[in-house]
Amino acid sequence: MNSPAEDQILEGAREVIRREGAATAGIAEQLDESFLSAVSLLLNCRGKVVVAGSGTSGTVARRMAHLLSVCGTPAVFLHPMDALHGSLGAVSGADVVIAISKGGGSGELNDFARGAQKRGARVLSLTADADSALGRIADVSVQIVPAGQADPGGLIAMGSTLAVSAWGDALAVTLMRLSGYSWSQVLAAHPAGTVGRLTDIPEELPPLDASALSGRE
């Protein structure tokens, strides 16, 4: 039997998880026209997707780039400060940049977004404030606002970054279904590890009609 102090510790930890779960689940109801515009932008991308962010948003950006690639949308992570020191040359006019920032005010990320646009790339911003500096820079701006007290003290980016990750997961799977990217293709991109050795291929995801997005971008 736990002591009252131990129960208090466990309940405090459970509350963190409950808040983060609520913050993530609430994003489902926020999917709107901006999500459709983001899907159309990436579906029509003729280059690569470059995902960028600083701090915790950078960690989320790296994860998002990986999972987009896994699901059939070629994507890479680029740190905005590295971009401002020469790696901006990796961005082409055929690319789409996904710039992630909760507040939308990270100077190096905003400078990178402007630089990418000068090279002809389109910019999709993911922020909690569509009217932020980054939101105003972007060609397509998506506002992701987690419900409740998602971040401890409103400062530590925990629940808010989980919410952005969930939004990105929804984007990756939606693009996979629209493009018809198959499980066989997923497995072929995993030559190392357990996934690449699977022989029992799952049933394909139900397709989505890409013509529904015609004229949106």
Cβ neighbours for 93, distance < 8 A, ≥ 6 positions apart: 47, 119, 120, 121
Q: Which two tokens stand for residue 136?
A: 């105003």
pLDDT single digits (tens) 159-207: 999 999 999 999 999 999 999 999 999 998 988 878 878 778 889 999 9
* pLDDT at 210 exceeding the cut of 80: yes
| Other CB atoms within 10 A of residue 6 CB | 10
Percent of the chain with pLDDT over 90: 84
Q: Among 17-26, 82-91, 117-126, whose mean pLDDT is lowest?
A: 17-26
Q: What is the mean pLDDT of residues 117-142?
A: 97
Whole-number Cα distances in Å, 38 to 44, 45, 81, 118: 10, 11, 24, 20
Cβ neighbours for 82, distance < 8 A, ≥ 6 positions apart: none
Closest to 175 in 3D by CA, of 67, 100, 101: 67
pLDDT single digits (tens) 134-160: 999 999 999 999 887 888 888 899 999
